């Protein structure tokens, strides 16, 4: 690692730790502890949520509402009790007790069974020049998840995770800094789980037992330590609270759940039209076509190449007639082009919207359009201006916006000239009274927010789709996220599962990796396996880089084309189920793609299991991610499981060896599962092709399901304009009973049939009249 050579620190500034508590003060929901110059506050925001703040100087910074959606005062007050003893101050809520040791002002939390968690280690909370940190104990059997966008496997014990957004080009399992910086994680052990959100946008880092075994550390280069402790104990509860704090994603348009096709670049109208035709002729469903940077005129954002895209409006409307939605890329770098009548540059200069250096000079770097300047998205007026620029795109029918290079990715020299990646000088003023050092991690988040809110203004009744590469905690409120420039490597296919699961465990549910790999050339086998796994990605997008081989589903020959068609078809059949998961994410913060530990947190076998995933609660995949492999071991957690393809029944907890030829991705369903499915369509066309039936596939056992549906495209769901059915499956006298409640909510689907299929036993059908139904289906003797 040559970059570290000669960089060992020669001096170590000593840390100053908290001293004795000298005074305790209580206000409505905050207890303050004065310790010399330092001030510590603990605020009780919910029975399972506390906020801890330490200001070494005794003075807190003004509140910054960047990531946190709910201000302290906006939480409903909950009762708590404060007990003071000679040695401690104890704060007790309905769910937890927080004990502060007066001697060193250290914190430990306890659940109601007196199990400690988030317990301060020896160093407690300390500071030194330019940094503040907290140290806490790692309990036996504790494992660590989340941390935003991370390479490697699932459990982050014994790793260091830095929160600083970078263009993580050529990332691999050892890469630390990534495109996203989300300083949140959860620590789980049997019977216990808690989450930590480090509320700092400055550079920060988690060290999970590396510097000191048995201790995790959080450090930020900010002026105070500000973190939230969220008690679970289950991951679902931790995420529910964390997303209450940082916000949840709005429901995306339903079409965004379909298959997306992208390439850098489909670089002319002709190429795009041919691509669209190819999908329809080959009967491979596809909803979205992404236009990468070459649709622009010389990489000038908010322009179109007059040569290659001479009539974008016609192109987009023709595509729309065929069911395709168009998404265009928008990068933050604005071509530096004085006196050239480039409206974006001119307006930005006229209103002083671009980031300046501390000395007042305009900052510039190099990106696609060569010399470029960068909007200061931390400013509300800049976000409005930029958001309004999108009107030129929405007016001609662009359905979604893809934000890229927004870490921001900047070179110090023209591209292709061996430039170094740089960022704005850390002292560059941004937003209101902030410097780049404080808000670097927010650049992508604020850009995505600007796009999202702009689209909402221009198309107030229609949901839009925004995709971003960079972001910070809370990015789920504004945008979906993809994992940047992966490679056409088996290792990257394998890694995509834990990466996306950890994103989901960080509150960001709408995520995906480029199917087939962005950089490099997929082999037919890799591509087939990737499409199978890609079917599980919440965002299902194929993409590939300039000068790589084409990666569309048909370029690898008939066998792979058939596999791609089959798995994309399956994705479309599962859309009602997947859309329901999006609704869960939007209302509870639950991930869509989940590691097994999410549903089996008491089962230590799941703690490091990274290569099996759950799509929602019922469907488990054990994909193949190695060349030439046709068998793999599958772990089935406790309960009865069914093979999706053969119906074979298995009892967990157990390991089985499964056979998976290239056509087959091993898939399992939990007993009692209820999975709504629909016929394959070539695209999601809610208005024009109402579906004539919906199929509820049910597997024997006990299960409950809430089936959400709505128009899939407007914000009416916020006004109760949706349909909810509660479905219950259970066994009675060896028969499977399916109870469907009457429809709640104001939305009624178009006339259709409901088919209830007890998988392996038969089916019944009836018109969907919105009434209650009770069905007896087949004989079934439970084990």
CB of 369 to ligand GLC, least distance (A): 12
CB of 50 to ligand GLC, least distance (A): 38
d(CA 275, CA 219): 49
CA atoms lying within 13 Å on the CB side of residue 701: 22
Strand, helix or coil at 81? strand
CB of 410 to ligand GLC, least distance (A): 13
Judge whether 737 and 729 are in contact, CB under 8 Å: yes
CB of 157 to ligand GLC, least distance (A): 30
d(CA 519, CA 548): 7
Q: CB-based contacts of 211: which residues, under 8 Å, 6+ apart? A: 217
Distances (CA, A) of 656 to 639, 666, 720: 14, 11, 45
Nearer to ligand GLC, 330 or 509 (CB): 330
Identify the residue among 21, 329, 330, 393 touching ligand GLC (CB under 6 A): 329
Burial per residue of 610-640, b for 16 or more beta-carbon CB atoms within 10 angstroms, e otherwise: bbbbbbbbbbbbbbbbeeeeeebebbbbeeb
269, 294, 404, 711: the catalytic one is: 404
Instruction: For the segment 152-171, give every residue that binds ligand GLC (CB under 6 A).
Output: none
Nearer to ligand GLC, 168 or 777 (CB): 168
CB of 285 to ligand GLC, least distance (A): 22
Instruction: For the segment 539-578, give every residue that binds ligand GLC (CB under 6 A).
Output: 543
CB of 294 to ligand GLC, least distance (A): 8
When CB distances to ligand GLC are compared, the closest residue is 264
Give the chain's end-to-end CA distance (angstroms, integer). Answer: 57
485 is catalytic: yes
How many residues of this chain interact with ligand GLC, rule: CB under 6 A?
Answer: 10
CB of 459 to ligand GLC, least distance (A): 24
CB of 297 to ligand GLC, least distance (A): 15
Nearer to ligand GLC, 170 or 427 (CB): 170
d(CA 375, CA 382): 7
d(CA 758, CA 577): 16
Q: CB-based contacts of 558: which residues, under 8 Å, 6+ apart? A: none
Of 740, 780, 742, the C-alpha closest to 762 is 780
Judge whether 592 and 509 are in contact, CB under 8 Å: yes
Nearer to ligand GLC, 365 or 701 (CB): 365
d(CA 258, CA 570): 11
Judge whether 333 and 369 are in contact, CB under 8 Å: yes
Instruction: For the segment 349-408, give every residue that binds ligand GLC (CB under 6 A).
Output: 404
Nearer to ligand GLC, 294 or 710 (CB): 294
Rg (CA), the chain: 27
d(CA 583, CA 575): 12
Q: Output the DSSP codes for 131-192.
A: EEEEEEEPPTT-EEEE-SS--S-S--TT-EEEE-----TT--TT--S-SEE--EEEEEETTE
331, 407, 456, 768: the catalytic one is: 407
Judge whether 275 and 502 are in contact, CB under 8 Å: no
407 is catalytic: yes
Instruction: For the segment 688-747, give every residue that binds ligand GLC (CB under 6 A).
Output: none
Judge whether 173 and 150 are in contact, CB under 8 Å: no
Nearer to ligand GLC, 159 or 404 (CB): 404
How many Cβ atoms are within 10 Å of 78's Cβ, its own excluded?
Answer: 15
Q: Output the DSSP codes for 333-372.
A: PEE--TTTT-HHHHHHHHTT-B-B-TTSPBP-EEETTEEE
Q: Output the DSSP codes for 409-469.
A: -EESS-TTS-PPEE---TT-EETTTEEHHHHGGGHHHHHHHHHHHHHHHHSTTS--EEEES
Nearer to ligand GLC, 468 or 476 (CB): 468
141 is catalytic: no
CB of 293 to ligand GLC, least distance (A): 4
167, 485, 561, 710: the catalytic one is: 485
DSSP label at residue 377 = T
CB of 484 to ligand GLC, least distance (A): 5
What is the x/- site pattern for ligand GLC, positions 450-489, by CB under 6 A? -------------------x--------------xx----
Place of tokens 């070179």: 411
d(CA 245, CA 238): 11
Nearer to ligand GLC, 470 or 736 (CB): 470
Nearer to ligand GLC, 168 or 428 (CB): 168
The number of residues making up the chain comes to 783
Q: Rule CB under 6 A: is residue 293 a binding residue for ligand GLC?
A: yes
Nearer to ligand GLC, 131 or 329 (CB): 329
Instruction: For the segment 499-528, give every residue that binds ligand GLC (CB under 6 A).
Output: 518
Nearer to ligand GLC, 381 or 412 (CB): 412
CB of 247 to ligand GLC, least distance (A): 25
**Which residue ranges make up the site for ligand GLC (CB under 6 A)?**
264, 292-293, 329, 404, 469, 484-485, 518, 543
Annotated active-site positions, please?
404, 407, 485
């Amino acid at each position: 690692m040559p970059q570290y050579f000669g960089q060992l620190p020669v001096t170590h500034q000593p840390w100053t730790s908290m001293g004795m508590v000298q005074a305790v003060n209580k206000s409505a929901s905050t207890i303050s502890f004065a310790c010399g110059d330092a001030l510590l506050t603990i605020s009780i925001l919910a029975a399972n949520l506390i906020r801890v703040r330490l200001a070494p100087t005794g003075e807190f910074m003004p509140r910054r509402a960047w990531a946190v959606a709910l201000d302290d005062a906006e939480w409903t007050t909950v009762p708590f009790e404060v007990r003071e003893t000679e040695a401690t101050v104890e704060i007790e809520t309905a769910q937890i007790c927080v004990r502060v040791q007066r001697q060193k002002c250290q914190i430990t939390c306890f659940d109601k069974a007196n199990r400690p968690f988030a317990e301060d280690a020896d160093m407690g909370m300390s500071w030194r020049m330019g940094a503040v940190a907290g140290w806490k104990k790692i309990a036996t059997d504790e494992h660590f998840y989340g941390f935003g966008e991370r390479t490697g496997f699932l459990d982050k014990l014994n790793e260091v995770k830095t929160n600083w957004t970078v263009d993580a080009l050529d990332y691999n399992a050892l890469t630390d800094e990534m495109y996203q910086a989300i300083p949140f994680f959860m620590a789980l052990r049997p019977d216990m789980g808690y989450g930590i959100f480090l509320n700092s946008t400055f550079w920060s880092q988690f060290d999970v037992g590396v510097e000191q075994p048995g201790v995790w550390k959080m450090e930020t280069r900010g002026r105070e330590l500000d973190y939230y402790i969220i008690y679970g104990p289950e991951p679902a509860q931790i995420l529910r609270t964390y997303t209450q704090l940082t916000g949840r994603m709005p429901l995306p348009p339903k079409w965004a759940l379909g298959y997306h096709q992208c390439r850098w670049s489909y670089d002319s109208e002709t190429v795009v039209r041919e691509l669209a035709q190819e999908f329809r002729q080959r009967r491979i469903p596809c909803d979205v076509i992404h236009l990468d940077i070459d649709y622009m005129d010389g990489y000038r954002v908010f322009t179109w190449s007059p040569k290659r895209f001479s009539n974008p409006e016609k192109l987009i409307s023709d595509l729309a007639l065929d069911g395709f939605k168009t998404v265009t890329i928008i990068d933050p770098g604005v071509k530096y082009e004085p006196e050239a009548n480039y409206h974006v540059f001119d307006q930005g200069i006229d209103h002083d919207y671009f980031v300046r250096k501390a000395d007042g000079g305009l900052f510039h770097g190099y990106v696609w359009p060569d010399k470029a300047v960068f909007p200061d998205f931390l400013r509300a007026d800049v976000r409005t201006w930029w958001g309004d620029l999108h009107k030129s795109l929405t007016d001609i029918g662009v359905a979604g916006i893809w934000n890229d290079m927004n870490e921001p990715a900047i070179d110090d020299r023209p591209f292709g000239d061996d430039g170094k990646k740089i960022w704005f000088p850390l002292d560059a003023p941004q937003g209101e009274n902030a410097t780049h050092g404080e808000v670097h991690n927010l650049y992508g988040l604020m850009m995505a927010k600007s796009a999202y809110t702009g689209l909402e203004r221009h198309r107030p009744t229609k949901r839009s789709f925004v995709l971003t590469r960079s972001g910070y905690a809370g990015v789920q409120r504004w945008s979906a996220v993809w994992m940047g420039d992966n490679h056409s490597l088996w290792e990257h296919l394998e890694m995509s599962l834990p990466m996306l699961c950890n994103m989901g465990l960080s509150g960001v549910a709408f995520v995906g990796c480029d199917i087939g790999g962005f950089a490099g050339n997929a082999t037919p086998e890799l591509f087939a396996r990737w499409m199978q796994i890609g079917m599980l990605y919440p965002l299902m997008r194929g993409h590939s880089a300039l000068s790589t081989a084409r990666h569309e589903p048909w370029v690898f020959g008939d066998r792979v084309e058939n596999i791609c068609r089959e798995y994309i078809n399956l994705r479309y059949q599962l859309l009602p189920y997947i859309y329901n998961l999006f609704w869960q994410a939007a209302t509870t913060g639950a991930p869509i793609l989940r590691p097994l530990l999410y549903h089996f947190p008491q089962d230590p076998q799941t703690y490091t299991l990274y290569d099996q995933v759950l799509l929602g609660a019922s469907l488990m995949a054990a994909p193949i991610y190695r060349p030439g492999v046709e068998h793999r071991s599958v772990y089935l957690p406790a309960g009865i499981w069914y093979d999706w393809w053969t119906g074979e029944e298995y009892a967990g907890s157990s390991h089985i060896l499964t056979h998976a030829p290239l056509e087959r991705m091993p898939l399992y369903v939990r007993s009692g599962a209820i999975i709504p499915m629909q016929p394959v369509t070539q695209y999601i066309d809610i208005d024009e092709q109402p579906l004539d039936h919906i199929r509820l596939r049910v597997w024997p056992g006990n299960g409950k399901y809430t089936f959400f549906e709505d128009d899939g495209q407007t914000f009416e769901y916020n006004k109760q304009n949706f349909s909810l059915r509660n479905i219950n499956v259970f066994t009675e006298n060896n028969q499977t009973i399916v109870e469907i409640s009457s429809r709640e909510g104001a939305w009624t689907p178009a006339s259709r049939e409901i088919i209830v299929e007890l998988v392996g036993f038969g089916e019944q059908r009836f018109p969907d009249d919105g009434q209650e139904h009770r069905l007896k289906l087949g004989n079934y003797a439970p084990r």
